[in-house]
Amino acid sequence: MGLLRHFDLSRFEKADCLMETGTENGFGIEHAMKYDNLKELHSVEINEKFYNFCKQKFNFVDRVNLWLGSSETKLVEMLSAISERKSCLYWLDAHLPSDPGSRFEHGREADQIEFPLEKELRLIKDNRDTKFDYFIIDDLRIYEDGPFQHTGKSWIHHHLYPNFFPHKDGIKFIEDMFSATHNILRDYNHEGYLILEPKQ
Ligand SMILES: C[S@@+](CC[C@H](N)C(=O)[O-])C[C@H]1O[C@@H](n2cnc3c(N)ncnc32)[C@H](O)[C@@H]1O
């Protein structure tokens, strides 16, 4: 599992808002709240239990906006809420904390729900000018090999389950969407992150 607090977000000081997919216990939001440049923080969570927990936790924090639902169904509305913001930092972290063997325990059957990243990026690209936006994407090891710090407990490596993981071409779908406008950097700490920084 990746941690937003692994990152010193002052590196993204030009960003004026945060958009997170997968709120869970709100640890990502708590870290982002340390940075005053992030004037609004938005986070979407599919699991009502986590959503309700964080609603209470952040009840008195005006700049925190929580959304209940799947990222796929909520992102367009969330993006319209930040349409005036020049630069957004996305923390794309929505995935089930499950391995292929236990996937049905969560009542989730469709791969596209378990791996929402491609849909999320497409929605963001289609609904916003992203040239000044930053992205931190968790769990690079879902998509490709590398010298990851944690080879993984919760996600079994994709070679063992070749038909379970989508994106046989690794991160090509991300390069196709962003390589013209962003530098794409790999961070092999934890289970791997991909960082997209604007070229200009
Ligand atoms: C790794 S946790 C998020 C941790 C959190 N971002 C942090 O930094 O502490 C992943 C969360 O994503 C949620 N999730 C999974 N699929 C989702 C989807 N399609 N849309 C929104 N949330 C989703 C899960 O319920 C889980 O709470």
Q: Classify residue 34 by its DSSP letter.
A: T
Distance between CA atoms of residues 72 and 86, nearest Å: 23
Confidence of residue 154 (pLDDT cuts 50, 70, 90): low
Q: Is 130 in the pocket of ligand 1 (CB under 6 A)?
A: no
> What is the C-alpha separation between 85 and 168, in angstroms, rounded?
35
Answer for the pair 185, 194: CB distance below 8 angstroms, yes or no.
Answer: yes
Residue 82, pLDDT above cutoff 70: yes
Mean pLDDT over each residue of the chain, to the nearest integer = 88
Top mutation candidate among 4, 18, 45 for ligand 1, by most atoms within 8 Å of CB: 45
Q: What domains are there in the chain, each with its CATH number? A: 4-198 (3.40.50.150)
CA 139 – ligand 1 centroid, Å: 12
Per-residue pLDDT reduced to its tens digit, 63-80: 999 999 999 999 999 999
Residue 156 has pLDDT above 60, yes or no: no
pLDDT tens sequence across 103-140: 444 444 444 457 899 999 999 999 999 999 999 999 89
**Quick check: CB of 94 below 6 Å from ligand 1?**
yes
DSSP-assigned states of every residue in 106-165: GT---HHHH--HHHHHHHHHHHS--TT-EEEEE-GGGT-----S---SSS--GGGSTTTS
- Statement: residue 34 has pLDDT above 70: yes
Torsion 185-25-89-114 (CA) sign: positive
In the beta sheet, which residues pair with residue 183?
Answer: 197
Q: What percent of the chain has pLDDT over 90?
A: 70
